[in-house]
């Protein structure tokens, strides 16, 4: 259950951070909505990359207690 929450939070965080950065860049540069769209795409890609890294991580071996 905790792994699922971590995966979801990693993905959502990437998307939200990308959207907020894009929105702020648009506000500063007056390029609405191009920076928002670009950063949203990068944030989504970053979220997928983080989920992939979590899924590709080898699981720790179980410790056998000798019974």
Give the pLDDT confidence of 28-67 residue by residue, as tens digits. Answer: 999 989 999 999 999 999 999 999 998 888 776 666 665 5
Tell me how crowded residue 8 is: count the other CB atoms within 10 A of its CB: 12
Whether the predicted model's global pTM rises above the 0.85 cut:
no
Give the pLDDT confidence score for residue 48 in this predicted structure: 94
| Distance from C-alpha of 44 to C-alpha of 28, rounded to nearest angstrom | 22
Give the pLDDT confidence score for residue 67 in this predicted structure: 58
Q: Where are the alpha helices (DSSP H) in 1-67?
A: 2-29, 34-56
| Distance from C-alpha of 31 to C-alpha of 50, rounded to nearest angstrom | 28
Long-range contacts of 32-41 (CB under 8 A, 24+ apart): 40/15
- The residue ranges of every structural domain in the chain are 2-57
Give the pLDDT confidence score for residue 2 in this predicted structure: 83
């Amino acid at each position: 259950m905790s792994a699922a929450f971590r995966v979801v939070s990693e993905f959502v965080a990437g998307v939200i951070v990308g959207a907020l950065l894009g929105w702020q860049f648009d506000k500063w540069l007056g390029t609405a909505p191009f920076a928002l769209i670009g950063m949203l795409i990068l944030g989504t890609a970053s979220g997928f990359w983080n989920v992939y890294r979590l899924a590709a991580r080898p699981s720790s071996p179980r410790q056998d207690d000798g019974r």
